[in-house]
Copies of this chain bind each other. A is one copy, B any other.
Amino acid sequence: MLVGRVVGTVVATQKEPSLEGLKFLLLKQLDVHGKETGASIVAADAVGAGLGDVVLYATGSSARQTRVTENRPCDGVAMAIVDTLEVNGQVTYDKAGDER
């Protein structure tokens, strides 16, 4: 899995029928210190994430193993809202205070 911040959304009216009802989030990937790596991805939302949330996301076939993405042509899913990242005993990200 990877960690990313929700920075926006993608809206698409004309789409493959199996995509109906999915919400598409724009994520910027973060490193272990909570800083952006430069990479971004579009992920389906399986957890009710909002703008600014730091999420755990899965890619590839594993992204189809959630209730909302099962059997859909979805290769990225935000599936958990991160409370804390802790590296070598130091909290590098805390949802309560955001990027410490």
Q: Which residues of A contact B (CB under 8 A)?
A: 1-3, 7-19, 24, 26, 28, 31-32, 40-44, 46-48, 51, 56, 58-67, 69, 71-77, 79-89, 92
Contacts and interface: CB of A to CB of B under 8 A. Distances in A.
A28 B19 contact: no
A16 B76 CA distance: 14
Contacts of A28: 32
Contacts of A15: 47, 56, 79-81
Contacts of A8: 32, 85-88, 92
Contacts of A46: 16, 73
Given A8-B88, A11-B82, A11-B83, A75 B51 contact: no
List 5 tightest A-B contacts by C-beta distance, closest first: A15-B80, A12-B80, A62-B75, A65-B73, A8-B87
